[in-house]
């Protein structure tokens, strides 16, 4: 019996020892597993442990590496030591409200390292609840997402800024303008909106190339940025157009206007000094349209439109001008818009006031060689208009090409009619071609179409081109002229001496005729400068084997000088004013006294 009891006791002890051994092994396994998890966590995550008050009690090595702080510098401190200042008080209030209530918090936090650099962490904070039912400590497990946030910020920056200059673009400008208008409503203080264009950027870009043109824009952007205050905005909205938004000028409109003008002058002075573009010194002035802003209810689109009107007026006054918007500008703009609308209506219907007049071109004996077709518009309310009154609106509203086509078609139709009139069949007819019309890809085919549809003789059609047309893409211009020249069409260079044609350009162009501008003829023969220019043009024409027509001949003295210098043909009031086609036929067919 004693042996059985002792055996049972021994079996129980053995069983207990086995159980304890198994438990110890399980504990060892669990501890090893926890150590493995901790090692893995430390290797791949940034970990910090705090007490209930938020005081740091533990950090792993990865936390120290990214924060640039040693463990002893962090333990005993709160996370305020790495606060970046990028988040609001409300952000941290929400965080603490969440975790102190026992809930897990997830979010993205921007911290500041010991060296001042910023880094972003995707953070999970887990509260550990004690016996009291309240959190006793918190474990923050974080992952470094700095590169992703930087990429996001870069994408956001590109969406809001001009890629070339780094200035705000239209999108960000709209936000800033909205903020400015809200401030005007709150504070009752005026702001200003300025639109700026470089006066000769296109010439610089064409002459020096786009890379140096881009460099000029970057340097202009830099100077503009340093002219204004930190609270103001400089934006690039396209091409060589910049917008300057001035905030908080003054409560008094007079003082605000003075300050805005002073800033515009400061900007012009800053841009007036030369720019060094890869060793080349370039000068560029600017035109500025200025709008004072004091009405918080105005729409952004309206503000930009009014400032654009002021810029238009500044450009019209010449280079390096500042013009402040006034209500009269709006009336002028409305009048221009109405005129463009009326012109569009006139082009879409026959017999709505558009017609041609014809001025004679005569030879040395004052015999008719041909005519120049001159466009007129009998406007329903404004009376008879010359192209000077509406051609600019046509250019700006896309009507230049259809208007030029109307003139070309009407001129060819008249040529065809004269071909059946005895004594008039040899008359040539000159037609002015606008830059927009000539540069249109359909120009050549449109001339061909006009000739074919009317039956006009191509060798009697003279297309008059301005010098400025050949400043850009001269090769394309020459090809167009050659295509039409094969058909028999002839070309004249109009207003010679008022543009920038080089001798090389004149030599290469397939021209048949030069025209001396009336501004040189007016002073003849007494003005020595005009006399010298006219004589030079005539000598140049002879060297190039080109005929010359002198425009604006009004008296016998002018005619005598031009004859003496060897001019071939003449046009002006001395021989006849512009007249209808029916009168033109009678004019040279009337009996001679």
In this structure, are residues 563 and 364 in contact, taking their beta carbons and an 8 Å threshold?
yes
Q: What is the pLDDT of residues 544-563, one digit of tens each?
A: 899 999 999 999 999 999 99
**pLDDT band, residue 592 (cuts 50/70/90):** very low
**pLDDT mean across residues, the chain:** 86
Six-digit token pair at 470?
Answer: 């050949």
Cβ-proximal residues to 432 (8 Å cutoff; 6+ apart), any chain: 372, 373, 375, 407, 464, 494
Instruction: Please state the φ and ψ torsions of residue 44, each to the nearest 5 degrees.
Output: -120, -5
* Mean pLDDT in residue range 170-176: 91
Q: Give the mean model confidence (pLDDT) for residues 312-322.
A: 86
Pairwise CA distance, residues 220 & 214, whole Å: 10
Q: Comparing C-alpha atoms, which of 63, 78, 76, 80 is closest to residue 121?
A: 63
Question: What is the dihedral angle through the alpha carbons of 203, 206, 207, 212, rounded to the nearest 10 degrees?
Answer: 100
Q: Which residue in 251, 234, 257, 255 sits closest to 184, CA to CA?
A: 251
Binning pLDDT at 50, 70 and 90, where does residue 418 land? very high
pLDDT in tens, 328-368: 666 666 777 788 888 888 888 765 789 999 999 999 999 88
Identify whether the C-beta of residue 429 lies closer than 8 Å to the C-beta of residue 415: yes
Question: Which pair of structure tokens corresponds to residue 231?
Answer: 């609270």
Rounded Cα distance between 465 and 431, Å, is: 9
Closest CA to 149 of 104, 86, 80: 86
The crossing angle, in degrees rounded to 10, of helices 170-187 and 300-316 is 110
Q: Residue 278: left (phi > 0), alpha (psi -120 to 50), or beta?
A: left
- pLDDT tens digits, one per residue of 259-275: 999 999 999 999 988 89
User: What is the average per-residue pLDDT within 13-19?
Assistant: 58
Q: Which residues of 265-282 are buried (b: 16+ CB within 10 A; e: fewer)?
A: eebbeebeeebebeeeeb
pLDDT at residue 242 is higher than 50: yes
Of residues 40 and 138, the one with the higher pLDDT is 138
Can you tell me whether residue 142 is helix, strand or coil?
strand
CA–CA distance, 293 with 325 (Å, rounded to integer): 11
pTM across the whole model? 0.55
Per-residue model confidence as pLDDT tens digits over 19-54: 556 555 555 554 555 454 555 556 568 899 999 999
What pLDDT does 471 receive? 65
What's the half-sphere exposure (Cβ side, CA atoms, 13 Å) at 549? Answer: 28
Assign 276 to helix, strand or coil.
strand
Q: How confident is the model at residue 11 (pLDDT cuts 50, 70, 90)?
A: low
Residue pLDDT, tens place only, 362-395: 999 998 899 999 999 998 888 899 988 888 788 8
Instruction: Taking residues 424-445, report their average pLDDT.
Output: 91
- Of 6-10, 82-86, 507-511, the poorest mean pLDDT is in 6-10
> Distance (Å, rounded) from C-alpha 459 to C-alpha 425?
12
Distance of CA 554 to the CA centre of its chain: 46
H/E stretch holding 2 reads: helix 2-44
Q: What percent of the chain has pLDDT over 90?
A: 48
The answer to which of 169-183, 301-315, 463-477, 512-526 has the lowest mean pLDDT is 463-477
DSSP letter for each residue of 301-339: HHHHHHHHHHHHHHHHT-SS-EEE--HHHHHHHHHHHHH
Contact status, residue 432 vs residue 400, Cβ threshold 8 Å: no
Contacts of 502 (CB under 8 A, 6+ apart): none
Could you tell me if 38 and 127 are in contact, meaning their C-beta atoms sit under 8 angstroms apart? no
DSSP string, 341-368: HHHHHHHHSTTSSEEEEEEEEE-TT--E
């Amino acid at each position: 019996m004693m042996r059985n009891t002792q055996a049972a006791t021994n079996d129980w002890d053995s069983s207990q020892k086995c159980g304890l051994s198994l438990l110890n092994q399980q504990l060892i396994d669990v501890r090893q597993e926890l150590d493995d998890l901790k090692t893995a966590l430390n290797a791949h995550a940034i970990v910090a442990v705090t007490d209930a008050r938020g005081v740091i009690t533990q950090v792993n090595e990865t936390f120290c590496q990214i924060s640039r702080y040693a463990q002893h510098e962090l333990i005993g401190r709160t996370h305020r030591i790495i606060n970046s200042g990028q988040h609001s008080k409300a952000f941290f209030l929400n965080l603490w409200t969440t975790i102190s209530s026992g809930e897990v918090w997830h979010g993205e936090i921007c911290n500041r390292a010991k060296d001042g650099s910023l880094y972003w962490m995707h953070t999970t904070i887990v509260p550990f609840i004690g016996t009291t039912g309240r959190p006793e400590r918190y474990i923050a497990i974080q992952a470094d997402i700095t590169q992703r946030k930087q990429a996001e910020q870069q994408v956001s920056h590109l969406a809001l800024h001009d890629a070339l200059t780094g200035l705000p673009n239209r999108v960000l400008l709209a936000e800033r303008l909205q903020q400015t208008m809200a401030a005007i409503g709150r504070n009752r203080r005026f702001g200003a909106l300025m639109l700026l264009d470089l006066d000769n950027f296109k010439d610089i870009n064409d002459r020096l190339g786009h890379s140096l043109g881009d460099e000029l824009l970057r340097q202009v952007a830099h100077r503009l940025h340093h002219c204004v205050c930190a609270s103001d905005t400089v934006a690039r909205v396209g091409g060589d157009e910049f917008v300057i938004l001035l905030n908080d000028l003054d409560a008094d409109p007079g003082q605000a206007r003075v300050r805005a003008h002073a800033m515009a002058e400061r900007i012009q002075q800053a841009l007036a000094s030369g720019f060094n573009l890869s060793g080349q010194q370039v000068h560029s002035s600017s035109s500025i349209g200025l709008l004072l802003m004091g009405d918080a209810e105005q729409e952004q689109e309206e503000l930009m439109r009014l400032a654009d009107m002021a810029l238009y007026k500044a450009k019209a006054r010449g280079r390096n001008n500042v013009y402040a918007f006034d209500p009269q500008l709006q009336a002028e703009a409305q009048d221009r818009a109405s005129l463009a609308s009326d012109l569009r209506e006139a082009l879409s219907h026959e017999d709505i006031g558009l017609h041609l007049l014809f001025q004679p071109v005569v030879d040395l004996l004052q015999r008719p060689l041909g005519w120049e077709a001159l466009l007129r518009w009998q406007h329903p309310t404004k009376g008879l208009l010359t192209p000077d009154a509406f051609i600019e609106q046509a250019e700006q509203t896309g009507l230049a090409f259809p208007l030029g086509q109307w003139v070309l078609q009407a001129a060819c139709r008249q040529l065809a009619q004269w071909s059946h009139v005895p004594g008039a069949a040899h008359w040539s007819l000159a037609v002015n071609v606008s830059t927009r019309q000539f540069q249109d890809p359909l120009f050549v085919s449109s001339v061909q179409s006009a000739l074919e549809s009317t039956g006009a003789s191509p060798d009697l059609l003279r297309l008059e081109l301005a010098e400025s047309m050949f400043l850009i893409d001269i090769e394309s211009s020459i090809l167009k002229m050659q295509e039409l020249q094969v058909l028999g069409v002839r070309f004249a260079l109009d207003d010679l001496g008022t543009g920038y044609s080089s001798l090389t350009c004149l030599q290469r162009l397939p021209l048949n005729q030069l025209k001396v501008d009336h501004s040189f003829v007016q002073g003849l023969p007494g003005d020595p400068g005009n006399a010298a220019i006219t004589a030079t043009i005539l000598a140049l024409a002879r060297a190039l084997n080109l005929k010359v027509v002198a425009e604006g001949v009004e008296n016998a003295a002018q005619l005598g000088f031009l004859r003496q210098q060897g001019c071939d043909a003449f046009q002006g009031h001395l021989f006849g004013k512009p007249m209808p086609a029916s009168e033109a036929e009678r004019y040279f067919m009337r009996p001679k006294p």
